[in-house]
Chain A
Amino acid sequence: MARIGVFVCWCGSNIAGTVDVKKVAEEVSKLPYVVYSTDYKYMCSDPGQNMIKEAIKEHRLTGVVVSACSPRMHEVTFRRTVQDEGVNPYMMEMANIREHCSWVHDDMEQATEKAIELVRMAVAKAVELEPMEKIEVPVTKRALVIGGGIAGIQAALDIADGGVEVILVEKSPSIGGKMSQLDETFPTLDCSQCILTPKMVDAAQHPNIKIYSYAELEELDGFIGNFQARIRQKARSVDMDLCNGCGDCWNKCPQKKIPSEFEAGMSYRTAIYVPFPQALPNTPVIDRENCIYFQSGKCGTCAKICPTGAISYDKSDEFITEEVGAVVVATGYDLFNTDVIGEYGYGEVPDVISGLQFERLSSASGPTEGKIVRPSDGKKPEEVAFICCVGSRDDKYGRPYCSRICCMYTAKHAILLHHKSHGSQAYVFYIDVRAGGKGYEEFVRRATEEEGAIYMRGRGSRLYRDNGKVVVKGADTLSGAQIELHCDMVVLANGIIASPGAEELARKLRISYDEYGFYSEAHPKLRPVETNTAGIYLAGCCQAPKDIPDSVSQASAAASKVLALFSSDILTREPNIAEVNPFTCTGCFTCREVCPYDAIDEEEVTVHIDGKKVTRMIARVNLGKCQGCGICCAVCRSNAINLKGTKDLQIFGQIKAFTGSEGKKLDEPVGLKK
């Protein structure tokens, strides 16, 4: 028999100013199952909470209704109050008579009537409430980081320093990401590899970090605290333990004409290769699609000359399953392909290059050893045009967003040009200059005021080859002039797009992504590193375009979330999840079809029908995965699945109570004001 106590709060004058709280308490005391009803100025205060506890003791209450502010405010508070007095915390229901009543109505009579109705509904639900216990799920204290760029490396280091084992999976032959391809970074002009490689070495040598390079995530099963990650370790064809990095294999490889991914296509690599000298691990990989031996059966030079016999052609991809408790996704970005832009020559004008290609030219370890030269004839470019917002802020290419880094890297390129190519002049075609970070504005001013880069506000509208030069047509909107610049080289500041395979990976992880392929955070302002999938976190450009400082910050933030998750051996979850009645479930699994979280498992049950044993499959809710949405409950044809905390009976109770229509004839207009 339910014994409900109702506590109506004044909230000072917030509620009492518009709602006759004493009348509410009085009317509600007449309801069935209500054995105690009172009002008080501030229910959430210590004396208020003590009042509830005293009443529980004195009146042997089995359930409590607090009619006050929104449950989003104080549900946790009052659950704790009743729990302190020995009542199950889920036997407490709140009626929202502040945010939904006293604060939005001004007629006292109407507001009081509505408040009484709301409390009546809460009491009806409270009568049907059942005690529930939090669910405990064990936690595997290991983390998986997908992506070995600066964000992935930072997250891995932070988690590993926190005493937790990390598996770092990187799909290229080496960790390092795009940052390893940069020359110098803004705004400090730090040599990118000089600041990156120590972190790469830390990651490789850290006792808590295991790196799978040249590997990809094949499948992710399980739920928060209990994931199984199936990793495909692609066949390097080179044994990592036997290889000593001597380089004889790539020096002798006859296949020398493969465009190098690391050099952004500005030069070539061999079929057996290490992407860059500081690669980690420093073990080569055979690119089987372009290797003469794998394509035609001829050659085999590298295996013959390898002094340690580390090369073998008959290795195949291996699959490894790792048990982890959390995943950090740090898969980075790709760059907008400027070849689609007809106005900029469809990629066929040789002296028109992209931002990353300029980085490789400028880099001392690049194809020209740091000399900035024209790709067409190797001559020094006297005048270089830099065009901003290429593929960004552009609805024509379906990318209205700003890529955030291009204004800064263009200013950097202008500065590098002036430093490395004495006498050369940079012309920057910009729309706005976005320099919001620390030291960023000063850096851009350095480009214009100290280095003498000329900034013109207007898009580059067209460019074409003319007599060995590149003609750039544009405008300078500030002076109103049409510009026609005959220059030696053009650098297109192409913007950030989602990395290749981003959507496929998102589906494997069951996380959401936006229309550009960037992964969705749980809340754009307050939860930037979590996803809506419990246990999966985000770091770096895979979530949205950002620069290195922000990628590192976000990676550390994701790491802190992982460490917080692992701070105890068990994970407690709220118990308001779905529950299947095994007697009425028919095993149609419509619930499984609609479940967004793959939280319905199959369970075999044996029943006796007509004296015969029949085995059939029915649904069972996975206690770890279910997020308590209740979509399954609404679609179940047998009414076999219910959502704890908002069970059908609890809702029906509220519906019946809402007009107090029990006993009233339906053709009598209800709620008629007397």
Chain B
Amino acid sequence: MEDAEIKAKTKKESDRTGFEPHIIGFLCNWCTYAGADLAGTSRIGYPTNIKAVRVPCSGRVDAMYVINALKNGADGVLVSGCHPGDCHYNQGNYYAKRRFMVLREIFSAMGINPERLQMSWCSAAEGAKWAKIVAQVSEKIRELGPFEGI
């Protein structure tokens, strides 16, 4: 998606429904958080919907954080870490991936749309990619509409 396209789409959607998704992002300190900083330094624009929580590793993110986030007003959750093989702590991102694949299955079983939990890999050098991820995830959650509770 081009930046201008993203902005245009964002404006149209929110004008129509007045719905701005609230998304909480768990960003791993070594890769994604740094990548997001790079997006900032490079002044790459993206929507305002994702608020970041800094964690040392995507593997730190407990399933309960995701569930609590949804209970506390989040419409979606993004967990983002280092690329497979590049985890600063060797293997944390693998545990995160497995954990959230299972959590998505549980969500399906409970009637929560599993797409409300998104995962991404973004390295410290990928500022532009982070902007794209934010735009795409925001768009996805906007399509799903507000989270009405379990």
Contact = CB atoms under 8 A, between A and B. Distances in A.
A104 B73 contact: no
A648 B24 CA distance: 16
A300 interface: no
A72 B38 CA distance: 11
A651 B64 CA distance: 10
B46 to A, nearest CB: 6
A69 to B, nearest CB: 9
B56 A643 contact: yes
A299 interface: no
A672 interface: yes
Interface stretch (A108-116, A202-210, A447-455): A108-116
Interface centre among B14, B22, B60, by most chain A C-beta atoms within 10 angstroms, is: B60
Interface of A: 70-72, 96, 98-101, 103-107, 110-111, 113-114, 117-118, 121, 512, 532, 576, 594, 596-597, 627-631, 633-635, 643, 645-646, 648, 651-652, 654-656, 658-659, 661, 664, 666-667, 669-673
B99 interface: yes
Contact of B55 (A99, A100, A594, A646): A646
A99 B40 contact: yes
Interface string B55-87: 111011111110011011110000000000000
Interface in B1-26: 14, 18-20, 22, 24
Interface centre among A104, A106, A651, A661, by most chain B C-beta atoms within 10 angstroms, is: A104
Interface centre among B45, B46, B62, B99, by most chain A C-beta atoms within 10 angstroms, is: B62
Interface string B126-150: 0000010000000000000011110
B74 A658 contact: yes
A573 B40 CA distance: 30
Contacts of A105: 45-48
A103 B72 contact: no
Contact of A646 (B22, B48, B60, B73): B60
Given A99-B36, A104-B44, A658 B51 contact: yes
Nearest to A664: B73
Given A110-B48, A634-B95, A655-B72, A100 B36 contact: yes
Contact of B53 (A70, A643, A648, A651): A651
B118 interface: no
A296 B55 CA distance: 64
Contact of A654 (B45, B53, B60, B62): B53
B1 to A, nearest CB: 15
B56 A629 contact: yes
A78 to B, nearest CB: 15
Interface in B101-133: 131
Nearest to B39: A104
A104 B57 contact: no
Contacts of A72: 33-34, 37
A5 to B, nearest CB: 21
B40 A70 contact: yes
B40 A71 contact: no
Contacts of B46: 104-105
A629 B60 contact: yes
A99 B37 contact: yes
A630 B56 contact: yes
A628 B73 contact: no
A659 B59 contact: no
B95 A666 contact: no
B62 A659 contact: no
Contact of A667 (B36, B68, B149): B149
Contacts of B20: 671-673
A46 B51 CA distance: 30
9 tightest A-B contacts by CB? A99-B40, A630-B60, A661-B73, A659-B73, A629-B89, A631-B59, A596-B90, A103-B40, A99-B37
A673 B72 CA distance: 19
A65 to B, nearest CB: 14
Contacts of B52: 96, 100, 118
Given A629-B56, A630-B60, A631-B60, A70 B37 contact: yes
Interface centre among A100, A114, A576, A656, by most chain B C-beta atoms within 10 angstroms, is: A100
Nearest to A594: B95
Nearest to A71: B54
